Amino acid sequence: MSAPAAGHRPGATPEEVWAARSPGWPAWVPDPAWRRVVVCAAHPDDEVLGVGGAMALLAAAGVELVHVAVTDGEASHPGNPVLAPAQLAAAREAESGAALAALGVSPVDAVRLRLPDSGVAAHEDRLVEELVPRVLGADLVLATWTGDGHPDHEAVGRAALVAAARAGVPVAQYPVWAWHWSHPGDPRLPWDRARAVALPPGVQAAKRAALDCFTTQVRPLGPDPAVLPPEVLAHAHRDHEVLW
Ligand SMILES: [Zn+2]
């Protein structure tokens, strides 16, 4: 996720509030004819937080997955004395690989574009050019949401929409950060387009194991508190994921 400085805002919506809402969104059902799906993540961990369960279900159904990591997430701990940015980037790349393995996902292609963490918007045109050939011929693109409240997530969402439109491929976007700053019924979110990906218990367990692979994010690192503390991770421990 690479939380911006506003990270753990007081007043963030606890998962219990979301759980009590029981919205009953229509089910998202993968098309059995799908052969290849491209998953775009702004930072290593977005893909698991947002659609780790969906990726596991698609992989189990024999769908080829392409994982595009737009940044290496090197800006999650500025000034940290334990890991410098380059070391953090390497650690997060390894964490993402371990997490996908925990989900039973072996991407046919794992693409690292190495755009600057927290600076994707300045490279959006280049990102579109990088994405177009990779989404050509795919059945679906999954990407972070254009309204997610993190500039990198939003830039990746916008670029994915443009690239997929050029390639004639549909897009489903996944919120990550929005679960933290929004609230049930929040009119800023496109609830009318929401679809729920139901996660069986085995997939939920695999997703928990996958999230635990992101050591630099889910645990304190030197003097820095966890970027993904339990109250934020709780949103990713649900029995469903949401796409729109
Ligand atoms: Zn992120």
pLDDT 10s digits, 200-219: 999 999 999 999 999 999 99
Does 146 score more than 50 pLDDT? Answer: yes
Tell me the CA–centroid distance for residue 197 and ligand 1, in Å. 20
List the CATH code of the domain at 26-182+190-243. 3.40.50.10320
DSSP element (H, E) containing 208? helix 201-212
Tell me the CA–centroid distance for residue 73 and ligand 1, in Å. 8
Tell me the CA–centroid distance for residue 146 and ligand 1, in Å. 12
- pLDDT tens, position by position, 118-144: 999 999 999 999 999 999 999 999 999
Percentage above 70 pLDDT, the chain: 95
Does 5 score more than 50 pLDDT? Answer: no
Tell me the CA–centroid distance for residue 110 and ligand 1, in Å. 17
**Domain range list for the chain:** 26-182+190-243
pLDDT band with cut points at 50, 70 and 90 for residue 109: confident
Tell me the CA–centroid distance for residue 14 and ligand 1, in Å. 19
Does 97 score more than 90 pLDDT? Answer: yes
Quick one: which of 47, 62, 166, 60 has its CA closest to 111? 47
Q: What is the mean pLDDT of residues 73-102?
A: 95
Tell me the CA–centroid distance for residue 125 and ligand 1, in Å. 19
Give Cα 3 to chain centroid, integer Å. 12
Tell me the CA–centroid distance for residue 35 and ligand 1, in Å. 26
Question: For position 24, what pLDDT does the model report?
Answer: 84
Tell me the CA–centroid distance for residue 117 and ligand 1, in Å. 9
Tell me the CA–centroid distance for residue 20 and ligand 1, in Å. 26
Tell me the CA–centroid distance for residue 241 and ligand 1, in Å. 16
Q: In what order do the strands lie in the sheet with 64-71?
A: 109-115, 64-71, 36-41, 140-144, 171-174
Contact assessment for residue 7 and residue 227, using Cβ atoms and an 8 Å cutoff: yes
